[in-house]
Amino acid sequence: MTDGTIDVVKDDVLIIAHRGASGYLPEHTLASIAYAHALGAHYIEQDVVATRDDQLIVLHDVQLDRTTNVANLFPDRKREDGRYYARDFDLAEIKQLTAGERRDDSDINAVFANRFPVGIGSFRVPTLREEIKLIHGLNRSTGRVAGIYPEIKNPAWHREQGVDLSALVVNLLDDMGYRSKADSVYLQCFDAEEVRRIRHEMGCQLRLVQLIGENSWGETTTDYDELKTEEGLHSLAGTVDGVGPWLGQIVDTTGVDGVPMSTGLVSTAHKAGLVVHPYTFRVEQLMPGFESMGEMVAWFVEKLSIEGLFTDFPDRALAALDPERLGNS
């Protein structure tokens, strides 16, 4: 990173640090971001939501309670559903919170038992600007460029809460030097209508990625079943540069003897001129037919020719592609 310019990431297969190096440190903390950079991630992901005073923070959920101590500090600020929403707090209040490892529905135990211990450390919830500044600083001090990969979280919900999240994010990225497809940034979102708005109404020139979920998740009003078809993927080509399906959408492991088979989604996306960055590779969640995450990564890259992938363990993904670089995964 040099003054006024954004350096460019160049690599054949992009390893995207999912919420930072979240396999080792609490997700979306500055420590997790710094470690992802140190481990060699090509891009680092930021989930973005808005506070009550329209500040952008990096948080996977619109709620604060699964990764912070908000219930202890502000016990009377929960909504009728019992959850604590970032949109109900000013940034100054959120900066009082301690962030930590993601907890499950018990609100006591970690989602992944063998990761960073719950309740340890004094991590904070970062702003998007703080996180990007950290990455820029590490790019400068190490001489190795990592890009950013922000996700606009629940934009329709944010509009109901009185804020245009997409406009805030795009404007901040522009202010920090991210303005074109030549810059080291991908902007992603699950909401297909919002992605079209970002490109065609807002005139955003960044590389855009349409995330693909399942209709049953209730993530957005987007019809993902339609989006996954040949017609649906080709309809995206004039708007986005790539798609981000989850692993089960591109590989079928229910066939003969559990041998992994392509569903055809990747090849169809490639025919539409789209890159494919699937999510999420984790050592704790191996698909049937694979004995290690490294084996999974190598298979997806070799057999499906994906251009990038999201992982909580960027070092292990890199090792699968180049064992001599980081050791066996």
Catalytic residues: 18, 60
Whether the upstream peptide bond of residue 311 has omega within 30° of 0, thus cis, is no
Closest CA to 65 of 95, 93, 96, 97: 97
> 324-328 long-range CB contacts below 8 Å, 24 or more apart?
325/40, 326/40, 328/294
List Cα–Cα distances, 58 to 23, 30, 73, 127, in angstroms: 17, 10, 20, 6
Phi, psi of 152 (to 5 degrees): -80, 110
In b/e form, how buried is each residue of 81-118, taking b as 16+ CB within 10 angstroms? eebbbbbbbebebbeebbbbbbbeeeeeebebeebbeb
CB of 211 within 8 A of CB of 189?
Answer: yes
Question: How far is it, in rounded angstroms, from Cα 117 to Cα 114?
Answer: 8
Check: CB of residue 54 under 8 Å from CB of residue 158. no
Torsion sign (Cα): 61, 67, 70, 71: positive
**Rounded to whole angstroms, how far apart are CA atoms 62 and 187?**
18
Which DSSP string do the residues of 176-232 spell out, in sequence order? TT--STTSSBEEEES-HHHHHIIIIIS---SEEEEEE--GGGTS-S--HHHHTSHHH
Q: Closest Cα partner for 50 from 128, 109, 140, 143?
A: 128
Say how many C-beta atoms besides its own lie within 10 A of residue 303's C-beta: 13
Query: Which residue, among 57, 137, 46, has the nearest Cα to 96 in the 3D structure?
Result: 57
DSSP lists the bridge partners of residue 148 as 44, 185
